[in-house]
Structure 1
Amino acid sequence: MAPTPIPRRRRTARRLQAAPAAVATGILFTGLLATPAGAEHGTGPGTGAAAIGTVARAMGHARYEPGPCPRTAEPIAELAKARCGTLTVPENRARPHGRRITLGVAVVPAVAAAPKPDPIVWLAGGPGDDAVGEAKMAVGGGLNRDRDVILMSQRGTYSADPALLCPGIDRFNGRAVGLVYDAPSTERLHVAATRACRDRLAGLGADLSAYNDIESAADYADLRIALGVKRWNLFGISYGTHLALVSMRLHPEGLRSVGIDGILPPSRAGSALAWSSAREGFDGLFKACARQPACNKRYPNLPATFERLVRALEAKPVTTTVRLSGDDKPVKVVLDGGALVNWMTTATHVAEGVPRSLDELAHGKPQRIARQWAGWKLNPQGIGVASHGLTYGIFCSEWVPYESRAEALRGGRDAFPSFPRSVLAQAPQLTFLRPDCAVWNVPAAPRSIRNVTRSDIPTLALSGGFDSQTGAANGPYVARTLSRATVVKVPYEPHVVFATSPCAQKITVSFFDSPTAPDTGCLTGLRPPRFEIGP
């Protein structure tokens, strides 16, 4: 089940708090895909852009054809000059003559008159976000300054065919704000929504076992050959880092360098990692408040306040009603311990207001948190844009089979020993994952999918100090077996620093220019956010 949408920019905290329904959407370990509903089918600004080549290229069982730009959920001006087409590949390479699927491709040209020959390939997060829809983020960060940027929809995502979307799950996630987060009755409804999604996608003929990292990595390897690119660079955000690390192991040929931001190591992915990441991100924010005299004086000992609130709300949930911006209809919101943990995991993107929000809740005023929580989950931009087929394909074949229930629970207890067992049973943003995967019913991936990536490909490992979804400790972890890795922690930033930090953008662009010596000088001038001080 796709969890809470994530606000796009932490620096817009005040606007987001005032109008939470306007925040951007995402899935589990992504952050930042702004995708309103009301999809356009090939009618956006990129339609009809010049083709990548004048003839289709085929290799093995994959085929590239120039054509219109892929559909996007909203018009994207950055695709206006893109060269576009589709890559057709076997749905399941174990059956190369079976069903075939198509993946949308957009190549955003470099700004420079004489671009470098090695383009940058953008790997979206999720799992389940569509890379083509993130063109604005890639271009806004300057990636196409002197290199083309290639965006291809991962299999099953919005601009692919088939697109394995399940709006019913998205709608249930919105309704669930009025339910006790981790109650058995909520679990039954949650799993029923997942089962309905699976049954519908399987009824369309999709081989749900073929939506995974092994197939996706092969899709990108085929694309490189199809486009006639000798060498290229990968840049993955959030779950895209998971795919990048798998690609470095399975298809290292042609990889000049790899950037990963918001790092999710395949060897550790799962509930225990979600808990340790939450602890790391929360602590980063709490420590930043403690170092500011005004914040520390007004909100002393925030970690204890937060953990006390989790225990109290789990024992006795609070029910309130709120009104969201642009909608006069009151919304019922139930806050229990699990809901508060998941709100906090998202709220590190709007860090300035977190201490004040927790303080108001502690003094009997839940509306501020309830309004944010409901606004994020009821955001209409999050309906029907994420590929739950790819989400569960990854979770249920690559994560759950290789992490026991006891290991997941132990990971939660190690991170938050004071939390009740009912809270620890559901890792942040992975609620009811095991029963979901029981009904998704796909076979486990080969155990080698969990192997550590060992490589001498130059790698930039970026993390944010407030990242509560993929903790910054993952950077040094993956770098242990990447002999030419540069580890960078950008302080005071949430998940996916490229989306929020000009400094991270500068470091990333410099990395692709000099993969073994990126310019990190901007880190010395960074300052913590100024936390809100309430009355």
Structure 2
Amino acid sequence: MRFALLFIALLAPCLVAVPARALTLAPCHLAAAQSPQRISAQCGRFEVAEDRDAPGGRFLSLAVAVLPATTHRRAADPLVFITGGPGQSALESYVLAHRAFARINRHRDIVLLDQRGTGDSNPLHCPLPDDWQAAALSSQAQRELALECLQALPGDPRFYTTSVAIRDLAELLTALDYERVNLYGISYGSRVAQAFARAWPERTRSVILDGVVPLDRALGPDISLDAQRALDMMFRRCAGDRACRERFPRLAGDFRQLQRGLREAPVTLTLADPATAELSEHTFTEDWLRGVVRMFSYAPGTVALLPLLIDRAVQEGDFAPLAAQAVLLSRQLEDALAAGMHNAVVCTEDLPFIAAAGDDVDDRADTGEDTYLGVGMLESLRAACSVWPRGELDSGFRAPWRSAIPTLILSGEADPVTPPDNGEHLLRSLDEALHVVGPGQGHGMYARGCTPRIMEDFIASASIAGLEVDCIQRLRPAPFFLSFTGPTP
């Protein structure tokens, strides 16, 4: 699986008042490819300058949606839902998440903005070769792919960074006549939320950060170590579960055997297309295995399947279930993630700071002996970013976010990409914040157990004082599948 598809000291002098522009909203329905749901909303288009320093230059039309409060007791301050990636559509992501925010939506509008370069806001998609899944791409191939992408982009990637996006959001909120807002940011969206709150603290009533990426931590150096940590937690949990231990007695060793075997001899097999049932030949490589394991580590429901998939491949030589998931996941990533916008962010906001830090952490991760991901993902980022133009970055952007704004931090104990340590790191720089960790949970806590109620209570009061969070300790990871008929009773 192609690895490149992942994952302010003082802004006041840079920020200028922007006159409100007319914004007309009309009834619409939000939809997402992965869901049959259609969500009623009010939608519109919002124009912003691609380059604010080029008067008379190109304008972008951004997709906007507002879900009005569902009761008459409407609070003046909405919730702004900011999705992750970087490169995902907020309007589509919200369709998959809307049930978790229904309680908040009773008394508050929900505001959605497809960040420039994503969704229906001039998406920066990149063309991919037909056989890009067949094997890990070399550094030269990654550079060539990045250059092809740059030539095909419908915009200048220098103006698709977080620093530019938060100004779009500020202008939109002015046009919608919202004076103060509550922010919810998940994964990369947590970076956007922090950057906005630092730039406009007077406009930010409260902040929820779900799977936090602290502003002063670059994505990259810890990717392999965090992913390995989550996998090791799965191994330990299976070993501590009698039914799983008896069914998969050598799980960790089997996985290492599987990885070594694929490194030496990839497996060629014929698969039925998940959508059309058309048969086609694929080569399942170690790179594919890494991709499936990493993406399955994000959620308890898919983690529960991993032991069975690993066992099936090692003990029965049946790679079809793993390979089918690799094909499906790669398509979902390609559809859901605007790779050009993703590169615009990480090549400006992350990779340069990894190089400056000396990369001490990931240098300890070799070709897979110490971590199953090794350094492949980081090398892919380096290769792509070596030809990618640097974008706009506010002075002091990488400084820690220090704030007294009420902040709720949510982490999954087994998150493979934004582990609880990120939340603890950020907590030390905030005056009024609470960090809640979901036992056995993965990436994104918003829909887990009592989390929707906790978020509603926090937004209602904009305070961590007296917030009841003990219920989160009742969460448990999904039981392991011992066969394809389902988990144990």
Q: Structure 1 residue 263: deviation in Å?
A: 1.6
Q: Structure 1 residue 528: deviation in Å?
A: 2.9
Matched, 1:466 2:421: no
Distance 1:73 1:79, change over 3 A: closer
Distance 1:118 1:192, change over 3 A: same
Once the two structures are overlaid, the 10-residue window that deviates more, 362-371 or 113-122, is 362-371
Q: Structure 1 residue 447: deviation in Å?
A: 6.0
Cα pair 1:72 1:158 within 8 Å, conserved? no
What is the rounded CA distance, in whole Å, between the counterparts of 2:436 and 2:22 in structure 1?
36
Structure 2 counterpart of 1:225, one-letter code = T
What is the rounded CA distance, in whole Å, between the counterparts of 1:236 and 1:318 in structure 2?
40
Instruction: Report what 1:39 is aligned to.
Output: none
Q: Structure 1 residue 247: deviation in Å?
A: 1.6
Q: What secondary structure sits across from 1:116 in the alignment? A: coil
1:378-393 correspondence runs (5 A): 378-379=331-332, 386-393=337-344
2:117 to 156, 172, 189: 156
Structure 2 counterpart of 1:411, one-letter code = V
Matched, 1:131 2:90: yes
Instruction: Report what 1:199 is aligned to.
Output: 151
Cα pair 2:266 2:286 within 8 Å, conserved? yes
Instruction: Report what 1:42 is aligned to.
Output: none
Unaligned 5+ segments in structure 1 are 5-26, 30-57
Cα pair 2:31 2:37 within 8 Å, conserved? no
Matched, 1:366 2:313: no
Structure 1 counterpart of 2:405, one-letter code = I
Q: Structure 1 residue 91: deviation in Å?
A: 1.5
Cα pair 2:147 2:387 within 8 Å, conserved? yes
1:111-130 correspondence runs (5 A): 111-130=70-89
Cα pair 1:284 1:465 within 8 Å, conserved? no
What is the rounded CA distance, in whole Å, between the counterparts of 2:319 and 2:356 in structure 1?
32
- Spell out, residue by residue over 1:73-106, the C-alpha distance to the aligned partner (whole angstroms, 9 max, x if none): 65986542x3333332222233355322222221
1:394 to 337, 345, 360: 345
2:215 to 225, 242, 266: 266
Matched, 1:180 2:180: no
Cα pair 1:280 1:471 within 8 Å, conserved? no
What is the rounded CA distance, in whole Å, between the counterparts of 2:253 and 2:418 in structure 1?
23
Once the two structures are overlaid, the 10-residue window that deviates more, 288-297 or 82-91, is 82-91
% same residue: 29
What is the rounded CA distance, in whole Å, between the counterparts of 1:193 and 1:69 in structure 2?
40
Structure 2 counterpart of 1:488, one-letter code = V
- Spell out, residue by residue over 1:35-70, the C-alpha distance to the aligned partner (whole angstroms, 9 max, x if none): xxxxxxxxxxxxxxxxxxxxxxx9636634114468
What is the rounded CA distance, in whole Å, between the counterparts of 2:118 and 2:147 in structure 1?
19
What is the rounded CA distance, in whole Å, between the counterparts of 1:233 and 1:417 in structure 2?
43
Distance 1:74 1:533, change over 3 A: closer
Instruction: Report what 2:445 is aligned to.
Output: 497
- Spell out, residue by residue over 1:129-176, the C-alpha distance to the aligned partner (whole angstroms, 9 max, x if none): 11122332343112312211001111122222x33233x23xx4x733
Cα pair 2:262 2:285 within 8 Å, conserved? yes
Q: What secondary structure sits across from 1:360 in the alignment? A: helix
Cα pair 1:401 1:444 within 8 Å, conserved? no
What is the rounded CA distance, in whole Å, between the counterparts of 1:525 and 1:213 in structure 2?
36
Structure 1 counterpart of 2:289, one-letter code = L
Distance 1:71 1:510, change over 3 A: closer
Instruction: Report what 1:246 is aligned to.
Output: 195
Q: What secondary structure sits across from 2:43 in the alignment? A: strand
What is the rounded CA distance, in whole Å, between the counterparts of 2:366 and 2:2 in structure 1?
23
What is the rounded CA distance, in whole Å, between the counterparts of 1:74 and 1:297 in structure 2?
40
Distance 1:269 1:64, change over 3 A: farther
- TM-score for both structures, normalised by structure 1: 0.79
Distance 1:216 1:318, change over 3 A: same
Distance 1:476 1:61, change over 3 A: same
Cα pair 2:215 2:400 within 8 Å, conserved? yes
Q: Structure 1 residue 404: deviation in Å?
A: 1.9
Structure 2 counterpart of 1:289, one-letter code = C
Distance 1:421 1:133, change over 3 A: closer
2:158 to 195, 209, 213: 209
- Spell out, residue by residue over 1:364-404, the C-alpha distance to the aligned partner (whole angstroms, 9 max, x if none): 3322211211222235xx55553333211101111111112
Instruction: Report what 2:54 is aligned to.
Output: 95
Instruction: Report what 1:13 is aligned to.
Output: none
Q: Structure 1 residue 240: deviation in Å?
A: 0.4
What is the rounded CA distance, in whole Å, between the counterparts of 1:481 and 1:99 in structure 2?
39
Distance 1:73 1:136, change over 3 A: closer
Cα pair 2:143 2:386 within 8 Å, conserved? no
2:23 to 52, 65, 77: 65
Q: Structure 1 residue 211: deviation in Å?
A: 0.6
1:286-325 correspondence runs (5 A): 286-300=235-249, 302-325=251-274
What is the rounded CA distance, in whole Å, between the counterparts of 1:120 and 1:110 in structure 2?
10
Structure 2 counterpart of 1:365, one-letter code = D
- The total of aligned residue pairs comes to 466
Distance 1:356 1:482, change over 3 A: same
Cα pair 1:333 1:374 within 8 Å, conserved? no
Q: Structure 1 residue 412: deviation in Å?
A: 3.3
Q: What secondary structure sits across from 1:247 in the alignment? A: helix
What is the rounded CA distance, in whole Å, between the counterparts of 1:222 and 1:445 in structure 2?
18
Distance 1:340 1:496, change over 3 A: same
Distance 1:105 1:369, change over 3 A: same
Cα pair 1:63 1:89 within 8 Å, conserved? no
Cα pair 2:163 2:394 within 8 Å, conserved? no
Q: Structure 1 residue 128: deviation in Å?
A: 1.2
Cα pair 1:233 1:256 within 8 Å, conserved? yes
